[in-house]
């Protein structure tokens, strides 16, 4: 059964190396600087919350984000999705550390959980440094270090439509890995070992008997979202990896916004959640706007030969996003 989310396996070891090319102050020989003009089509309604609430009659509505005065996807949201997809297909860190003691919700009544030493010391939770960094930190940026990728806002071509989203809670920690109950005589705790990997929301989770719906403003299905990604001093192999993250080659859908694994009211079962978008057009340009001919396959070929690539993660990510997500 689908839980509303799936996992992409973490590599045992992060590939951290010195990356002299990860810079802005001068042009790096043999690197590419390019602008990608992209059009995505919303295959499901997309809700990106603005943080504001409004009223429809006397029903509370969660408002959607606007970009330049129209419903759309802010560049920061798109960049977040691209980073997590790029992390999943490369031997990259997770960009965060794990806290050991956590409180959690569970139907068992147990409210505490902890990770084993093996999980806590997993290489993917060790922070990167300026001297030694993973592929994702090098491309998307490490702390204050500027990234070589700038993602502009994506404007939609349609007005918001209200949809009802089932309130569902994010997975409890004991779903994130292999889990045993440990009882020291005073209290019971979940011991979490062997993390299942990076979490991607999709499908929809179990449907509770008592449903609570939340009205949300969505970019409707069929909307075309147009925006650009600017790349500076990019290696061909990084471009190849980025094309996977963008859903270009090999082709796959992206999930964006809230409710990626939440049920949508009155929708066909296979299509009953939020946030699926698909790349329908990509134009390469130089930074002055002149169209370029680029070979996506050659870039992908370079990526497949790169020591940064995590093939198992790539295969899983692409397979999970073939339509029913």
Q: How far is the CB of 200 from Zn ion (least distance, A)?
A: 19
Question: Residue 16 and residue 84: Cα distance in Å, rounded?
Answer: 17
- For Zn ion, which is the closer residue by CB, 90 or 218? 90
Per CB under 5 A, the segment of 82-90, 93-101, 219-227, 314-322 that binds Zn ion is: 93-101
Number of residues that bind Zn ion (CB under 5 A): 4
Q: How far is the CB of 102 from Zn ion (least distance, A)?
A: 23
Decide: is 137 part of the binding site for Zn ion (CB under 5 A): yes
Which residue blocks in the chain are alpha helix, DSSP H?
75-89, 117-120, 135-140, 236-245, 296-304, 311-320
- Classified as helix, coil or strand, 54 is strand
Decide: is 93 part of the binding site for Zn ion (CB under 5 A): yes
Pairing of strands 101-103, 198-201: unpaired
Q: How far is the CB of 12 from Zn ion (least distance, A)?
A: 15
Decide: is 138 part of the binding site for Zn ion (CB under 5 A): no
The interface mask with Zn ion, positions 240-279, x = CB under 5 A, is: ----------------------------------------
Pairing of strands 32-42, 198-201: unpaired
- The answer to whether 197 and 266 are in contact (CB under 8 A) is no
Decide: is 128 part of the binding site for Zn ion (CB under 5 A): yes
Q: Give the containing element (helix H, strand E) for 189.
A: strand 188-195
Decide: is 134 part of the binding site for Zn ion (CB under 5 A): yes
What Å distances lie between residue 319 and 7, 18, 79, 176, 282, CA to CA? 12, 32, 21, 20, 22
- For Zn ion, which is the closer residue by CB, 10 or 219? 10
Decide: is 78 part of the binding site for Zn ion (CB under 5 A): no
- For Zn ion, which is the closer residue by CB, 19 or 260? 19
Q: How far is the CB of 125 from Zn ion (least distance, A)?
A: 10
Question: Residue 193 and residue 179: Cα distance in Å, rounded?
Answer: 6
Question: Residue 195 and residue 9: Cα distance in Å, rounded?
Answer: 9
Per CB under 5 A, the segment of 117-125, 137-145, 161-169, 276-284 that binds Zn ion is: 137-145
- For Zn ion, which is the closer residue by CB, 78 or 134? 134
Which residue do the tokens 């609570």 mark?
212
Binding site for Zn ion (CB under 5 A): 93, 128, 134, 137
């Amino acid at each position: 059964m689908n839980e509303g989310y799936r996992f992409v396996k973490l590599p045992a070891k992060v590939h951290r190396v010195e990356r002299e090319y990860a810079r802005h102050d001068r042009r790096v020989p043999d690197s590419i600087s390019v602008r990608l003009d992209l059009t995505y089509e919303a295959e499901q309604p997309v809700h990106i919350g603005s943080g504001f609430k409004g009223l429809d009659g006397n029903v509370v509505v969660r408002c959607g984000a606007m970009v330049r005065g129209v419903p759309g996807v802010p560049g920061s949201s798109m960049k977040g999705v691209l980073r997590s997809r790029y992390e999943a297909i490369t031997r990259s860190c997770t960009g965060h550390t794990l806290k050991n003691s956590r409180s959690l919700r569970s139907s068992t009544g147990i409210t505490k959980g902890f990770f084993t030493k093996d999980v806590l010391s997993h290489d993917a939770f060790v922070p990167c440094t300026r001297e030694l960094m993973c592929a994702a930190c090098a491309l998307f940026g490490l702390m204050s270090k500027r990234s070589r990728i700038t993602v502009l806002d994506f404007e939609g071509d349609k007005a918001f439509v209200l949809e009802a989203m089932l309130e569902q809670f994010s997975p409890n920690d004991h779903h994130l890995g292999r889990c045993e109950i440990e009882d020291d005589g005073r209290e019971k705790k979940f011991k979490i070992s062997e993390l299942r990997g990076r979490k991607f929301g999709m499908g929809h989770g179990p449907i509770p008997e008592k449903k609570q719906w939340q009205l949300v403003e969505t970019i409707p299905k069929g909307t075309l979202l147009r925006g650009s990604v600017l790349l500076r001093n990019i290696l061909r192999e990084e471009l190849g990896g980025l094309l996977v993250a963008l859903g270009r080659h090999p082709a796959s859908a992206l999930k964006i916004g809230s409710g990626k694994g939440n049920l949508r009211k009155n929708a066909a079962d296979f299509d009953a959640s939020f946030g699926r978008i698909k790349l329908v057009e990509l134009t390469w340009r130089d930074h002055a706007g002149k169209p370029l001919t680029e070979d996506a396959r050659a870039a992908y070929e370079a990526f497949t030969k790169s020591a940064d690539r995590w093939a198992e993660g790539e295969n899983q990510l692409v397979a999970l996003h073939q339509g029913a997500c």
